[in-house]
Amino acid sequence: PTADSHHRSIPPPTRGQGRILFALSRRRPSLSPRAGDPLKSPAPSPSPSIGSARPPACRTGRSTMTLGSSGAGSSVVVPRNFRLLEELERGEKGIGDGTVSYGMDDADDIYMRSWTGTIIGPHNTVHEGRIYQLKLFCDKDYPEKAPSVRFHSRINMACVNHETGAVDPKKFSVLANWQREYTMEHVLTQLKKDMAATQNRKLVQPPEGTFF
């Protein structure tokens, strides 16, 4: 016989069996509280004791020494060598129209201190077409402190010492008002602008190709 035929063959409960099932159903405990029973509230969860372990608080800190980016309420300072590596990469790619460039003197110098810069004189001045070489020295305090700058090629400018070729920080605005965000590119591009300034554009120059 099939399951359906077997299921249909089960006889319905007799009257006596029905009374027993009804009585059993009346004895099932009720899930809802009866009237007059006190309500029991769930037991409160234990509160942590004073000495209990707490999750560690999030810590925010300032990075020592990042590329000069800053956020709200915090700043990041780039380490000296990372900063100089960025400047080296930019110098190798070329700056603007190519009339200003710079690079390291010694690729093996891990402190990246000595640099050579080149400026091609601006148009419509006595410096036009001349190629000037400069020496820049970035000490251990760079870029917190400005580099020392000296012309290797002879030049006659108001901010340049006529005997040593050193750029006088008191007479050159970038060095006089140095900020950490400034770079060697700032120094060289401003020197080129100063060559075209009124006080320098027509000054008599030493013979081209001579050096300090």
Exposure on the CB side of residue 180, measured as CA atoms within 13 A: 15
The three-point CA angle 19-22-24 to 5° equals 110
Mean confidence (pLDDT) of the chain: 79
Complete DSSP assignment for 2-50 = -HHHHHHHSPPPPHHHHHHHHHHHHTSPPSSPPTTPPP-PPPPPPPPPT
By DSSP bridging, strand 131-137 and strand 148-151 are: antiparallel
Residue 133 predicted with pLDDT over 80? yes
pLDDT of residue 49: 47
144 falls within a domain = yes
70 falls within a domain = no
**Confidence label for 118 from pLDDT (cuts 50, 70 and 90):** very high
Q: How far is CA 29 from the centre of its chain?
A: 69
Task: Please choose, from the candidates 191, 187, 189, 183, the residue with its C-alpha nearest in 3D space to the C-alpha of residue 88.
Answer: 183
Provide the domain count of the chain. Answer: 1
pLDDT of residue 97: 83
68 falls within a domain = no
Q: Using one digit for the tens of pLDDT, what is the confidence trace for 22-76?
A: 555 555 544 445 555 555 555 555 554 444 444 444 333 333 333 444 344 456 8
Give the residue numbers spanning the domain of 107.
80-195
Q: Which residue has the higher pLDDT, 149 or 75?
A: 149
Residue 179 predicted with pLDDT over 50? yes
Which backbone phi and psi does 145 adopt, to 5 degrees?
A: -120, 150
Q: Which helix (H) or strand (E) holds 89?
A: helix 80-93
Lowest mean pLDDT segment, chosen from 1-5, 89-93, 170-174: 1-5
140 falls within a domain = yes
**CATH code, 92:** 3.10.110.10
Q: Which residue has the higher pLDDT, 10 or 201?
A: 201
Residue 7 predicted with pLDDT over 70? no
Q: Using one digit for the tens of pLDDT, what is the confidence trace for 98-111?
A: 899 999 999 999 99
Question: CB under 8 Å to 203, separation ≥6 — which residues?
Answer: 126, 156, 157
pLDDT of residue 18: 55
Q: Is the pTM of this model over 0.75?
A: no
pLDDT of residue 209: 93
Q: Which residue has the higher pLDDT, 212 or 12?
A: 212
pLDDT (average), residues 107-135:
96
